[in-house]
Structure 1
Amino acid sequence: MKIRSGGHDYEGVSYVSDVPFFILICSTFVQSMSVLKMRLHGFKLEQLLVKFLQNCRENLSTVGVGGHFSGGGYGNMMRKYGLSVDNIIDAQIIDVNGRILDRASMGEDLFWAITGGGGSSFGVVLAYKIKLVRVPSTVTVFRVTRTYEQNLTNIVYSYQQVADKLPEEIFVRMTLGVVNSSVRTGEKTNIATFLTLFLGDSEKLLPHE
């Protein structure tokens, strides 16, 4: 038996096995809905977008909340609000003995383990109780790419010097890759991609004098 709450692939190929098994997908429920907290399990993020669009901003709709949380919950707002697991205040699991435990009865060591250490390794997570955060109604997103021929080396070095000094409302993720060169036919070149999210509008990000 395998437990899942979603999948990390838009084409549904997240789970491949030659061994017969069945998958248990927990049903969805939400309790105690408020901006400060809610209890949930079995959700996909696309469902949260529909129900909590004013409180939740996410972009990988096929990922199950349980898998996202149990792996730490990295996201573009973590500089401001931390990882997703930093906002989990309680959980319910079924342990190997069939007991249903909450944070108080499971103890802090097990609670710590299921909030970042991989929930499926320690039991079946039934529910999380999470603290929601307020997100501005307008955010600014942009993407910049630079190749080796466009002074990539110096740009990456400069990014490394300032990235940790930016306001926490700004998140910049840099990825490196290889693409076909537009300058030298038939050759490859390095490329850096900067994906940025600012929790505010463009006027606040780049104010005019």
Structure 2
Amino acid sequence: MALSRSLAAVLFIFLSCNATVPSLATSDGFLQCLSAAIPEELLYMQSSPSFTSVLVSSIRNPKFSTPSMVKPLVIVTPTNASHVQAAVVCGRQNDVRIRVRSGGHDYEGLSYRSARPEVFAVVDLANLRSVSVDQTAATAWVDSGATLGELYYAISKASNTLAFPAGLCPTIGVGGHLSGGGFGMLLRKYGAAIDNVLDATLVDANGRLLDKEAMGADVFWAIRGGGGASFGIVLSWKVNLVSVPPTVTMFSVPKSVNEGAVDVLTKWQEVAPALPDDLFIRVLVQNQGANFQSMYLGTCDTLLPLMGSSFPELGLNRAHCKEMSWIQSVPYIYLGSTATVADILNRATSTTSFSKATSDYVRQAIPKDVWVQIFAWLSKPNAGLMITEPYGGKISSFPETATPFPHRDGVLYNIQYMNFWSAATDGSAQTKWLKDFYTFMAPYVSQNPREAYVNYRDLDLGENTVVGNVTNYEAAKVWGEKYYKGNFERLAMAKGEVDPDDYFRNEQSIPPLVPSK
């Protein structure tokens, strides 16, 4: 870890904060407090010439960079742990809340904007991005501000047979990704990212720097899948690295409706979760076609007979196979066949499309006639797409209570629905299509609750209400049990343990539940 544990810059502020209660909390007081503890060049006030460029530097959805966005009072760009501690202590002292950004991929932008009028600051962890790999122990410490691409690249430099089972997009920030669960093409072999977290460092609501032992079992359980920015600011993670062979095989097989996509999809949803754990086949469904994308932990020579016996309907042949190393598969699957490994270090994004997304989990195979209707929906004007990813294997072997991420045994696959539009339109037609399609899918997906994935955050599932300056637990259950099922109550208890005053909160943060004395 490259994080300073020095408290010298914040001890005086912390002690003063806890010795007296300010009679009047002001923005000026907050900024003065920050300036006394953090170098000026790490603070970007709204009046700073670089404020806008820093703010938009990792906004991945341009619809949240419009003039109407509720912007932070200041952006703090810490270079060590003491700066983060100071931001929290100053915020508590002056009644200014903190939002935390690692990669900026959160679908509702809650790491850097507020959906309601509010005075808040952003702690942007982009400068905290160290990765330290221990090849012998097959572990790594990674700072929350690192991207998945930076983590993967560092692992590949240490070994060509080690990997980490997380997401596909290399610009995703490690902090937010692990906070919500995190999964990708190794999920069937090695589970979710959080299933491979060994330790972490956390700045809590009192500005203390805690490791796994100090934060306690309940809080350590909660930060591994309980969503970002509810329990504190996780600065770094110790993760278990997993074994991959020197050669993996990728394939991409498109099927149109005229080529039997309905039949192949109907079969896929039964076969994909039951295949050997070394084989992962996801599907992008859009317009009148389905694209079957796969990673196999082995060579084409061993993949072909396996597919021939297990899933002949897809028609895989040698021409579809692309053999490469695991690290080469990262740019290949996300950036395309011409991308290089070095491209995964690029933290910038060039998208100009606005977007909206939501999610589902499927526990019973969708009938063939419904797939026909799904393709009709995907062919409508202003339609979006579906991304389906199979479960089974390792991710399904853990109990639902092992981590806050409860989507385990019995899940066939998850669905991500997305739609896009340009700044030239208001997006109403595209968001209406998404909402209507989500309603259509209700009978065919999980129920009671209708499950959703917190890293595909959707405020349409519900928003928090605040009663007496604390998030209301009963109101939060409306969205909380969709993300967490029966784990939601335990998350609220952990929140009550580490942040009973609900300092870290946003529109979908975990509410504190404190037992009556």
Equivalent of 2:237, from 125, 128, 141? Answer: 128
Q: Which moved more, 1:190-199 or 1:102-111?
A: 102-111
For the pair shown, the structure with the greater C-alpha radius of gyration is 2
2:217 maps to a residue whose letter is E
2:290 maps to a residue whose letter is A
Counterpart position of 2:224:
115
Conserved in 2, the CA contact under 8 Å of 1:152 and 1:192?
A: yes
Q: State the shift of 1:143 in Å.
A: 1.1
Conserved in 2, the CA contact under 8 Å of 1:44 and 1:61?
A: yes
1:114-149 deviation line (CA, Å, top 9, x unaligned): 111113111100111111012111111111121222
Counterpart position of 1:194:
292
Q: List aligned pairs for 1:53-202, cutoff 5 A.
A: 53=156, 54=160, 55-56=162-163, 59-177=168-286, 179=287, 190-202=288-300
Conserved in 2, the CA contact under 8 Å of 1:113 and 1:119?
A: no
Distance 2:203 2:273 in 1: 40
**Residue 124 of structure 2 is aligned to residue 24 of structure 1:** yes
Distance 1:7 1:56 in 2: 23
**Residue 145 of structure 2 is aligned to residue 38 of structure 1:** no
- The higher relative CO (CA closer than 8 Å, separation ≥ 6) is in 1
* Structure 1 residues 21 and 99: CA distance shift in structure 2, 3 A: closer
Q: State the shift of 1:174 in Å.
A: 2.0
1:9-37 deviation line (CA, Å, top 9, x unaligned): 9xxxx956697744431523344623521
* Structure 1 residues 16 and 101: CA distance shift in structure 2, 3 A: closer
**Residue 152 of structure 2 is aligned to residue 49 of structure 1:** yes
Counterpart position of 1:183:
none
Q: Percent identity?
A: 40
Distance 1:116 1:82 in 2: 13
The answer to which structure has the higher strand fraction is 1
Q: State the shift of 1:192 in Å.
A: 1.7
Distance 1:108 1:8 in 2: 28
How many residues are aligned here?
A: 194
Conserved in 1, the CA contact under 8 Å of 2:101 and 2:112?
A: no
Conserved in 1, the CA contact under 8 Å of 2:133 and 2:155?
A: no
1:152 maps to a residue whose letter is A
Supply the RMSD in Å over aligned alpha carbons: 2.6
Q: State the shift of 1:8 in Å.
A: 2.6
2:153 maps to a residue whose letter is V
Q: Secondary structure at the match of 1:120?
A: coil
* Structure 1 residues 101 and 120: CA distance shift in structure 2, 3 A: same
Q: Which moved more, 1:96-105 or 1:66-75?
A: 96-105
Conserved in 2, the CA contact under 8 Å of 1:174 and 1:193?
A: yes
Q: Which moved more, 1:98-107 or 1:28-37?
A: 28-37
| TM-score for the superposition, normalised by structure 1 | 0.81
**Residue 104 of structure 2 is aligned to residue 4 of structure 1:** no
1:39-83 deviation line (CA, Å, top 9, x unaligned): 121211222233221333764221111111111111100100000
Counterpart position of 1:187:
none
Conserved in 1, the CA contact under 8 Å of 2:103 and 2:176?
A: yes
| TM-score for the superposition, normalised by structure 2 | 0.35
Structure 2 portions without partners, runs of 5+: 1-97, 307-517
Counterpart position of 1:184:
none
Conserved in 2, the CA contact under 8 Å of 1:48 and 1:56?
A: no
Distance 1:37 1:141 in 2: 26
